[in-house]
Amino acid sequence: MIPSGGGVFEVRLDDELVFSKKQVGRHAQPGEILSAIQARRS
C-alpha cells in the first residue's frame, strides 16, 4: 500500500493499474477489485 491524498484510491498488480476510483469516478463495487485481479492472474 502506498498512502496518498485527495481521495485517490488505486489498486495495482505488478505495476499494472487494476482499479482507479479517480478514473471511473466511483468507489469499487463489492467483489469488483477481486474479480479484476483474478482475471489478470488467469
pLDDT in tens, 1-42: 778 778 889 999 988 999 999 999 999 999 999 999 999 887
Q: Which residues are registered as beta bridge partners of 13?
A: 16
Coil, helix or strand at residue 7: coil
Whole-angstrom Cα distance, residue 37 to residue 12? 9
CB-CB contact of 30 with 41 (8 Å): no
Copy the grid coordinates of residue 19.
482499479
CB-CB contact of 2 with 12 (8 Å): no
Q: What is the pLDDT of residue 33?
A: 95
